[in-house]
Structures are given as C-alpha cells and as structure tokens.
Structure 1
Amino acid sequence: MKLLLTSGGVRNKSIHDALLDLLGKPIGEATALCIPTAGYANPGGINRAWTFIAGGPQNECPMTELGWKSVGVLELSVLPSLDPELWTPAVRAADVLLVNGGDPLFLHHWVRESGLAALLPALDDTVWVGLSAGSMIMAPRIGEDFVGWRPPTGDDSTLGIVDFSIFPHLGHPGLPENHMGAAEKWAASLPGPSYAMDDDTAIKIVGDTVEVVSEGNWTFFD
C-alpha cells in the first residue's frame, strides 16, 4: 500500500502532484472509496461525514471532489454485519481509499473490527489518502493528547504501519491549542519519532521511502 498522509486534505499543488505520482494515472481515470467513519465520534460528526462525502465548496479539506472517475462510500461500522464478499471486491478494485478525519481511536477500532486492517497488506497498489485522523492511525500511537473516544483496549495504540506519529493541524486558527509548544510536549511523551505538520503539508510513503511534501510548516521530532 502507498500512503499520502495529510493534515488537511489535498489542499495545494504539491500535495496534488504527490497524489498523481502515487496513482500513476490521472485522477479522472481512478476509482475511489471514501471512508467517513472517524467523523461520527466527534460533535457535529453526522454533518461532517456528509460534508466529507459530498465535497464541494463548503469543504475546506478537498478529498472526494477532486474529479475521480467514481467515488463509493465504505462505512466501516456496518461491515461486520455483512458477508465479506459484498465489500472486499470493491476495496481490492479501488485505486484509492480516502479516509476522513475525526476521532482517530474510533476510526482505528472500526478499521480492525470491520476486517479492513487484515486486508490492507494485500493492497499493494492501492493509495491510502488520510485526512487528519485518517493519517494518524497509520502510526504506532497517537499520544494521549489526541485521545477522545476511548477504545476497549484503553490505550492510544494504532495500526503501526509507519514508525512515526503525527500531530496534525499545526497552527490552525480554529485550533489554538495546536501550537508548536503543544506539539513539542506531545512529541516528548512518545517513545518514537514524530511529525507536527500544518494543513498544507503531507507525508508521502512508498515502501521504505518517506518524503515530506509541503507548502507550509512542519517539524520532525527524532
């Protein structure tokens, strides 16, 4: 699986170009599935889930409205009640998974409970495009600062597909608590490396190659 881990979606040309490089073809020839699940665990999440799915001018975090050949909706919380044959072929056939922001531990819980986590290692050519929480869950841990919904395990562990953690929305005017001092304290609480990044920054991963793509501000904490 190839990863494009964003804080605020595909917001600028640099991130857009990185997505095209990962896809290996125009967006208009690529099929997408969007995953709104993370949004439901936050206040106003029902409306935010619809905004993510619908896209359009009201969406500050472009994902579904980029001009895909087709976009389907993959709601993870319903998948355990379905025969896997009803949804796994669509996941295998998709060029890209667009994964919404919201509560990272709620999203991580349903990625595992749905069976999607078990399928990910087989998706060699699929591009995972994360938005905020959709990027954070690729880390080994998210850090206690970002724990809202508490999973049955009680801890802040996530998928561990990459070896670093992500502090999103650095310096966002609507999130005054997401300042650099808070990011430094958060990073110091984690045992491994991490990135703090603003909404004009993304991290592109192919195999063992990690590349920061940015028209904004970011910091690496080793």
Structure 2
Amino acid sequence: MRSLFLTSRFAPLAAEFSEFTGGDCKGKTACLIPTASSHQTFKHFENVERKALTALGISVSDLEVTQASPKEVQERIAMSDYVVVTGGNTFYLLQELRKSGADQAIINHINAGKTYIGASAGSVVLSPNIDYISHMDSTDAAPELHGDYAGLGVLDFYLLPHVGNFPYKAAAKAIQRDYSHRYDLHAISNREAIVIHNDSESVVRV
C-alpha cells in the first residue's frame, strides 16, 4: 500500500489533500524536512507550505537532516503520520538524505503505508534518477554525489514539476525536449498533484 501526494507546490492543493485523506488529517503529525532549501536564503515557499499544513489542523515539526543524528532522523520519521519534503535544490536534497540515512527512513515510511507529501524537489527525489532535473537545479550544490543521481526509486516514472509556471517554464520545456524520449515523464503544474493510493494513480487540479 502506498499513499503519496506529490506536488510542485503543496499550499494551492491543501484542500485537495484534505479530501485525499477523507478529512482525517486534523490532529495528525507531520515531519517536515526543509533540507532542499536549507542552504538557500529564500525560504518563502517552505514557510507557505508549513502554514498550509498547520491550517489543516496538522501538527508540524521540522526535521533538518543536516543537523540531526541518524538515530534522531530514523525516530522522528518513524513516529510521524506524514512525512513532508519541501522544495529547493533536488541534488542537494538527495545528497543530504543519503548522508543522514533519511532516504531509507522515508522509503520505510512509504512501504509501511504511511502518507508522504512532496513539493517540487520533495516530489522529484522519489524518481528512479534525478539527472533530468539539472535544467532546473544546479548539480554544483551536491558535489558529494559524485555524479550518482539515482533517486529514491519509489516511483517508476520521472516527476516533472512547475510545467508552464514562472520561473521554470523554459527549463521544464527543455527537460521535455531532452528527456521525453528516454524517460516516462509525468508533468504537473503548480496547481496539480499526482496522487497515488495503492497502485492507483490520478492527477488532481485546482
């Protein structure tokens, strides 16, 4: 059983997430991993996502994996109803998830049937490989990957966020041009989500 709610931006689709849970999200706990943007000064979208979750009655606690021990990472993820991974640089995110052991903890969370919410980089990182996202994110942010861009592999397709949306419109088109013949790209705008429940996949829009 898999329960995935994958977005470019979570906040515009918060009401749809509530419907996805059958209105059962109030009182749940969420472990929010803001690591993808932790090395950046611009935190606007991370804050917006956090507020949207809180507005649904979800108790949100941050887990910055670069500052937590592997034991804390494992425990915090395991004890949460939801794991939420927000946007930023996907390569940096992957690097730090691997270093902290959060990558496997997230996979275990998903395999246990618990809900995962992704926003932008947090959605992309579940793909089999993230090399294609280099048109949007710089690989320079993650030198410790040494060119190994294998994602968490939870998905059997490659999620492409921000299609048709500023400032990534041109980058998304370039990815579609360069990778659509190689990868099964599933593209979403900032007002769409790919929702996976068990083996059923659908796209919701606002």
Distance 1:106 1:171, change over 3 A: same
Deviation (angstroms), 1:110 = 1.4
In structure 1, list runs of 5 or more residues that go unmatched. Answer: 216-222
Q: CA RMSD in A?
A: 2.6
> 1:206-221 to 2 correspondence within 5 Å?
206-215=197-206
Deviations 1:150-195 (A, max 9, x none): 443314321111011122111113334245x424214336x33111
Distance 1:92 1:9, change over 3 A: same
Q: 65, 73, 81: which is aligned to 1:95?
A: 81
Letter in 1 for 2:41: I
Decide whether the 8 Å contact of 2:66 with 2:96 is kept in 1. Answer: yes
* Alpha-carbon separation, structure 2, partners of 1:186 and 1:130: 24
Decide whether the 8 Å contact of 2:18 with 2:56 is kept in 1. Answer: no
Letter in 2 for 1:93: M
Distance 1:99 1:120, change over 3 A: closer
Q: 162, 179, 182: which is aligned to 1:187?
A: 179
SS in 1 for 2:11: coil
- Which piece of structure 1 moves more, 141-150 or 157-166? 141-150
The answer to whether the aligner puts 1:168 opposite 2:166 as a matched pair is no
Deviations 1:121-152 (A, max 9, x none): 43223211111000000001221424412443
Decide whether the 8 Å contact of 2:54 with 2:60 is kept in 1. Answer: no
The answer to whether the aligner puts 1:154 opposite 2:142 as a matched pair is no
* TM, length-normalised to structure 2: 0.82
Counterpart of 2:135 in structure 1 is 145
Provide the identity percentage.
25
The answer to whether the aligner puts 1:120 opposite 2:109 as a matched pair is no
In structure 2, list runs of 5 or more residues that go unmatched. Answer: none
* TM, length-normalised to structure 1: 0.77
Distance 1:199 1:28, change over 3 A: same
Deviations 1:25-66 (A, max 9, x none): 53321111111100134xxx2341xx455x3xxx38964443
* Alpha-carbon separation, structure 1, partners of 2:60 and 2:165: 29
SS in 1 for 2:193: strand
Distance 1:62 1:5, change over 3 A: farther
How many residues are treated as equivalent by the alignment? 198
* Alpha-carbon separation, structure 2, partners of 1:199 and 1:61: 16
